[in-house]
Amino acid sequence: MTTSTSIPDYVVGTWNIDAVHSGIEFTLRHMGVGRSRGRFDSFEGEIVTAENPLDSSVTATIDAASFNTGNADRDAHVRNSDFLDVENHPTITFRSTAIREDGDEWAIDGELTLRGVTKPVTLSVEPGGFTDDGQGGKMLGGTASTTINRTDFGVGPDGGAMLGEKVKITLDIEAQSS
C-alpha cells in the first residue's frame, strides 16, 4: 500500500490549478501526414492530495469557447455545432474516479464529458513534485496525457482524410495550495 511517506516531499492538501502557469494542449493528424495543434486558454480545477495518494482526487472544467489554434477562422469553425458546439456545451469537464500506481508512473482514471457525452479516460501522469512557492504557500506540479477518439464524443465528422480521429491531450499543471 502506498502512503504519502513513500513519495518524497509529498504534501497533503487541496490545490487550485494555476491557469497562468499551466497548459492544456492537443494534437491530431491533419491530412494524414501532418499534425494540427492547439490549446484551451481558460480552465480551472482542484486537486486534493490525501494522506494515502490513492485516495486523492482531481476535478477540472475547461471553457470550450477558449479553443485556440492561432487561426481565427478555423477556431470559429471548431466552436460551431459541427465540432465542439460551444453554444449548447460551453464546458468540458473531468472528474477522477481512481488514482493508481502504474509501474514507475501514476494513472488517473476518470470521466471526461465533452459535448454532453461522458466517457472513461485514463491520464498517464508524470509527477513534477511539491515545492515552496516563495510566499509561504506550497505548489505542486506535473504532466498528464491521454489520447481520445474525438468521434466517440460526437466531435466532427467520422473518418475522412482531413482530420485524424485520435486526439492526444497533454496537461502541464501547476497548482497552488488553498
As a whole number of angstroms, the distance between CA 23 and CA 174 comes to 9
* pLDDT, position 1: 53
Q: Residue 167: give its domain's CATH number.
A: 2.40.128.110
Decide if pLDDT at 31 tops 80: no
Average pLDDT, the chain: 92
* Parent domain of 121: 4-177
Query: pLDDT category, 22, cuts 50, 70, 90?
Result: very high
Task: Look at the pTM and tell me if it is higher than 0.85.
Answer: yes
* pLDDT, position 5: 55
Number of separate domains in the chain: 1
Instruction: Indicate the Cα dihedral angle 13, 174, 9, 136, nearest 10°.
Output: -70
pLDDT digits (tens, 9 = 90+) for 103-119: 878 999 999 999 999 99
Report residue 121 as a C-alpha cell.
Answer: 479516460
| Bridge partners (DSSP) listed for residue 168 | 27, 147
Mean pLDDT, to the nearest integer, of 11-37?
A: 91
As a whole number of angstroms, the distance between CA 39 and CA 104 comes to 28
